[in-house]
Structure 1
Amino acid sequence: MSLNSIMNIATSGMSAAQTQLRVVSDNVSNVNTPGYIRKIADQQAWAQHGVGTGVEITRIRLATDRFLQAASLNAGAEAGRQNVRYELFDRIQSLFGDPGADSGFFSQIDSMFAAFATSAENATSGPMRQDAIYKTQALFDESARIAKQIQAVREDADGRIQSAVERTNSLLEQIEKLNVEIAKANVVGADSTGAETAQAGLINELAELMDVRTTPRSVGGVEIRTGAGILLAGQGAARLEYTRGGAVSSESAFDDIWITEPNSQRRPLSAGLASGEIKGLMELRDVEAPAAADRLAELMTRLADELNRAHNASSSVPAPTVLNGRNVGQSLETALEGFTGRTTITIVNDQGVIQNSADIVFSGGTMTVNGVAATPATFLATLNGQLGGATASFVNGVLSIDAGGTNGVAIADDATTPSNKAGRGFSHYFGLNDLVSTDRLALYDTGLTPASLHGFTPGETLTLRFNDAAGTKIRDIAVAVPAGAGTVAELLTALNDPATGVGRMGTFSLDAKGELTFTGRGDPAPTMSVQEDRTTQVPSGVSMSELFGIGGVRASRADGFSVRGDIVKDPAKLALAQLNLGVAAGTAALSKNDGRGARLLAGAGQNATAFSAAGGAASGSMSVSRYASELSGEIGGKATIAKNRATSAQALYTEASARRTSSEGVNMDEELVLMTTYQQAFNASARLIQAASEMYDTLIGMMR
């Protein structure tokens, strides 16, 4: 081996050691830099014709561990998902307050019933009446506030989704730019570790927004896809699109997030999205918050209905001169069909003495008024003929009875065979003496049967949107009201038609109380919402979705209830007495001291009530008080579960990050050992050069 070869070999050793020392120096200086990944200078031996000619640095790379990186990215995505779910659901729980505190929402329910019980002890006390009315109104005001705040949480989640989409687009653009820089550096053999470190930090941030999978590219850099395989970066940057404003209320669905891949293929992002902050926000916005709103709405609807049941069975003293019902969403003829039992409408003077009465007996689709036969079509005229000057009318779906002059109207069902349709008496069904009113239809057990006339005009359309379990739109289906006799059976057939209806998505069915329900096909079944409703029922003016509670209409009911305005203004109109039909002629049938109506109101929370399925809870019969207790426990339980999941996910992310950092981060002890090793290698190479130099000097001296 020549001296020149020795010099070249030693020089290559010094150069390699110098490069390695520079890498160690960079590592040591960044020991406290967050996200810094340790560099490694790989070296290999040079050889020509089987003879060693020195050493070279083949590349400078990052000390990455693909397994630990994947584990950290997955854990980060799940932590992002669970943290945001807990954060927002905790806000929903806080809206209801502490169940054990007097100011909590569920405690207000007990306080209201207690106020009515107090009123029963002294039915003539104005302050006690006022207190009961105030607490009832305060309860419904609080439910309205909670319902609006739940919607506000949904809108907040939606705003954060938009921000996350914008941040995702920015990250993908930066990651793709770094891919180009890394590829260029690799082509010319330059150090690309700085760009790779920056890219790794961006990928970590992206993983907290959505679940991603990374694959190294042969030219350098990475290819990134979602867990479902949607290409995000590596062949160009994908672009996400989202526009807020898709759902302005709890009744409508939000729009999809669309992603355009680098190959220009456009698809919804939610398809296959498994974790990440965006997934958590979508779950809270589209599933958990609507479920809480739906349960609250069902509770307040049944609470209002039970209060109205008691109030319709009672009367104020003196009796009101006019009873105005609620919109039943049907024609009078259809509404009267299916009634059974017996009820009595009386006209009383200001002393509570009956002046006239109409005894109505329902039986098998026929009826009599004071023994005079009537049909649903002739009922109103027959009733007016028997009321002796009082007037009953039916306009826009609302039944009203006006006593005329200074007299009042009081209604009572027969004690043995009370009137009944869909579980409600005559006055209760029409809402003639409701305590709690609402600005929309809230009861969907309509009492309709397949043979009932629906009242919608043929050709009117209802457009329904179906989404899969991830929230991705499957399709929109417009169903037209069919021509024919106009029966509910025909409407059901049109809705369930596999070709022109929703038959391929699920089935609509009508139960014994006239409640229309939808059962989706598949597991998981698709969810349904109303995209557009162009139907109008005659004569009530309500739409099909409002009448039957289709889509998200049910979840919006909680903010529409209030105590009847005339009762709020005059507590004396609170119905705390009951009509006594057994008194002798000329004797008062109503007494101011009668508190039986107040006892009915106080016990309304203990009545067995048929609750509809809501917010993931199955339908069933239970008391309002028990339902409130179960809802209270469910809200608290879900918040606790969300907290535990967030804590566990964060702990797993912390552990995965720690293990990754342990492998990829800078260890000062290791770097000091390497520094000593490379320094010694440098010194050894320098000594070789010195030795070769001395040998050169000797040879030159011998030649002189």
Structure 2
Amino acid sequence: MSLGDALSIAMSGLRANQASMSVVSSNVANAETPGYIRKTVDQVAINTGSTGTSVNVAGINRQLDEYIQAQLRLETSGASYASLKSDFLQQLQGIYGNPASSGTLEDTFNALTSAVQALSTSPDSQSARIGVINAAQAFAGQLNSMSNAIQGLRGAAETGIADTVNTANNLMRQIAEINNQLRTNPLGGTSTDSATASLLDQRDRYITQLSQMMDIRVTFNGMNQATVFTGSGVQLVGNEAATLTFNAQGTVTPSTLWDPQQNVFTLGSLRVGYANGGSIDITSQVKSGEIAAYLEVRDKLMVEAQNQLDELAASTSKALADKTTAGTVITPAPAPQAGFNLDASNLKNGNVMRVTVTDVLTGTQRHISIVRVDDVSVLPLPNSTTNDPNDTVVGIDFSTPGTVIAQLNAALNPYNVIFTGSATSINVLNNAGFSTISAASVTTTQTALTGNGVELPLFTDNGAAYTGSISASGWQITGLAQRLTVNSSLVSDPSRLVVYNTSPTTPSGDSTRVDYLSQQLNKSVFYYSPKTGVGSTNAPYKGSLLSYMQQFTSQQGAQAQTAKQVADGQTVVLNTLQKKFDAASGVNMDEEMAHLLALQNAYSANARVMSTINEMYSVLMQAI
């Protein structure tokens, strides 16, 4: 080996040591920088002259564990989803309150029942009457405020989606920009220089931040360029970034709901748009991350909470105001045509006639609920309309009275039921040899304070009667809790809490009506819609007003607690993965210091070789 070869080898060693020390210095300086990946120098051996071997710096390596990184992004998305969902459910739990504390919905309901019971013992007491009115107003006000707060949370979710979409678009644009910069990487492939390695760190940070917002999947090509897809496979980023759009709809109310049918939804929809003008709706496809949590809060969790309150408001109103009248028995000759006459003169949109039919041949008994509908566009009605799983529901359009009997016969022909009469006086008759009418009744909503029995319209739908009406513009029950008010006529004249007849006038000390109200509040039983999250379609919850209230309040508490436990669990998993990732790809100061010491020794050795060669050259020059 010549002295020139030796000098060349030592010089290459010094250059490699200098590059390695620079990388170590960068690692130490960025040890606390989020997303920084530890770097090492990629050194390759090369031949020098005929016998020597030197070293060359081929690039900078990122010590990245791609598998752990992919898992970390998956758990980052899951943790963001779980944490945000838990935050909203904790806020909802704050709205419902602790059942044992004062000022809760259960507390105001119990105060109402207590006030009614107090009036029952002193019907002629003016203060007791006013006490019932005040308690009813407090109950309605509690439902109003809780409903407003729930819609406020839905509105916050809608705003949150819009803000998150803007952030996601900025991240996607920056990822695409770095992808394009990587096309000019002079080393190509997976080898990088220092500047390119920094770009890759930056891009990985952006991708991880994007994973907080939605579930994503990432692939890489031979130029280290990343292509980002949604979890469902819709491309978000390549050499160009797609654009997420979200058309926030402003004020959120109980009747503003999202629906996959584009001509139905009344809330913002999430879409991916491309430069060629195409777009894809991904609202129902996002399964994790902050956006998924916001969508679930807006479209499911808070809608379910609103349904719970609406069902309570509707059931309480109906318990006090609805009057069920059994049909009048018809016994004409011949006897097989016997049946019942139903007085439908006071039947209102949403009110129900119930018929029990027994099949003569099989003995099978069927319960049929006939719902008055004044808007034919909503027909046919689903069986879930009455919440009773045993009901067969038939909607009949009463907007054209002359066709009501024909509609009834056509709709119920499969059950061998015969109808005659008119829209206001309906006869439901046996069908000889096929069916027997076992029972029939009409349930109507009372709107007058006197003259129609002890039933009392204590609560109204913002001044109008609550009848459960159904129309193309929506079902009356939707948002009822937000609109529930105490009947203004009762507020003006509390004596009507006791006086239910004016000819003759009910004595001021008569407790008949008050006893009825107390019984209905405490003992009336209803089926509740599975849309409340209580019960199921095949087995809906059935119970009193108080038991139903306790059921959904308890359920909300359990849901909030479960969500918190899931969020805490996700945080533990995320932190564990982060530690593994840091151990594999982060900077360890002890290792870097040990590496730096080894580099210093190597640098000294190369410098010593160069010094020795210099001395040898000096001796040779002196010998000449």
**When the two structures are superposed, what TM-score results if normalisation uses the length of structure 1?**
0.67
Alpha-carbon spacing, 1:234–1:552, altered in 2? closer, same or farther (3 Å): farther
Distance apart, 1:674 and its partner CA: 0.5
* 1:603 paired to 2:519: yes
* 1:155 paired to 2:126: no
Assess if the C-alpha contact under 8 Å between 2:498 and 2:511 holds in 1. no
The CA deviation string for residues 167-223 of structure 1, in whole angstroms up to 9 with x for no partner, is 000000111112223332344864212222222221221111011222233113422
Distance apart, 1:274 and its partner CA: 2.1
Match of 2:582 in 1: 661
Assess if the C-alpha contact under 8 Å between 1:46 and 1:56 holds in 2. yes
* 1:615 paired to 2:532: yes
* 1:266 paired to 2:302: no
Among residues 275, 298, 321, which one is paired with 2:311 in the alignment?
Answer: 298
Q: How does 1:620-631 map to 2 (within 5 A)?
A: 620-631=541-552
Q: How does 1:315-464 map to 2 (within 5 A)?
A: 340-341=327-328, 364-366=339-341, 421-422=353-354, 447-448=369-370, 454-456=373-375
Match of 1:347 in 2: none
Distance apart, 1:560 and its partner CA: 2.3
Inter-partner Cα distance in structure 2 for 1:461 and 1:18: 79
The CA deviation string for residues 44-103 of structure 1, in whole angstroms up to 9 with x for no partner, is 211379965311122113221111111211111111111111111222221122211121
Partner amino acid, structure 1, of 2:619: T
Which secondary structure does the structure 1 equivalent of 2:370 belong to?
Answer: coil
Inter-partner Cα distance in structure 2 for 1:27 and 1:398: 72
Distance apart, 1:596 and its partner CA: 2.9
The CA deviation string for residues 433-475 of structure 1, in whole angstroms up to 9 with x for no partner, is xxxxxxxxxxxx99526xx7x5546xx68999xxxxxxxxxxx
Partner amino acid, structure 2, of 1:75: E
Match of 2:240 in 1: 236
Structure 2 residue runs of 5 or longer lacking an equivalent are: 259-266, 330-337, 356-366, 382-396, 414-439, 444-463
Inter-partner Cα distance in structure 2 for 1:395 and 1:606: 26
Inter-partner Cα distance in structure 2 for 1:153 and 1:259: 25
- Percent identity of equivalent pairs: 23
Match of 1:28 in 2: 28
* 1:648 paired to 2:569: yes
Distance apart, 1:697 and its partner CA: 2.5
Among residues 565, 568, 576, which one is paired with 2:488 in the alignment?
Answer: 565
Inter-partner Cα distance in structure 1 for 2:8 and 2:280: 59
Distance apart, 1:555 and its partner CA: 3.5
Alpha-carbon spacing, 1:51–1:545, altered in 2? closer, same or farther (3 Å): farther
Partner amino acid, structure 1, of 2:512: R
Assess if the C-alpha contact under 8 Å between 2:227 and 2:237 holds in 1. yes
Among residues 281, 291, 305, which one is paired with 1:278 in the alignment?
Answer: 291
Partner amino acid, structure 2, of 1:92: L
Structure 1 residue runs of 5 or longer lacking an equivalent are: 314-337, 343-362, 368-374, 380-393, 400-419, 424-444, 465-479, 494-511, 516-540, 580-585
* 1:99 paired to 2:99: yes
The CA deviation string for residues 242-286 of structure 1, in whole angstroms up to 9 with x for no partner, is 111187422232232111257765212235422100001101111
Match of 2:392 in 1: none
Assess if the C-alpha contact under 8 Å between 2:498 and 2:510 holds in 1. no
Inter-partner Cα distance in structure 2 for 1:673 and 1:492: 89
Partner amino acid, structure 1, of 2:494: P
Inter-partner Cα distance in structure 1 for 2:295 and 2:159: 11
Alpha-carbon spacing, 1:492–1:178, altered in 2? closer, same or farther (3 Å): farther
Match of 2:211 in 1: 207
* 1:699 paired to 2:611: no
Alpha-carbon spacing, 1:553–1:301, altered in 2? closer, same or farther (3 Å): closer
**When the two structures are superposed, what TM-score results if normalisation uses the length of structure 2?**
0.75
Inter-partner Cα distance in structure 2 for 1:514 and 1:341: 11
Inter-partner Cα distance in structure 2 for 1:648 and 1:598: 52
Alpha-carbon spacing, 1:22–1:116, altered in 2? closer, same or farther (3 Å): same
Alpha-carbon spacing, 1:567–1:610, altered in 2? closer, same or farther (3 Å): same
Assess if the C-alpha contact under 8 Å between 1:545 and 1:551 holds in 2. no
Distance apart, 1:698 and its partner CA: 2.9
Inter-partner Cα distance in structure 2 for 1:481 and 1:161: 43
Alpha-carbon spacing, 1:682–1:612, altered in 2? closer, same or farther (3 Å): same
The CA deviation string for residues 476-532 of structure 1, in whole angstroms up to 9 with x for no partner, is xxxx99999573787999xxxxxxxxxxxxxxxxxx9999xxxxxxxxxxxxxxxxx
Assess if the C-alpha contact under 8 Å between 2:77 and 2:211 holds in 1. yes
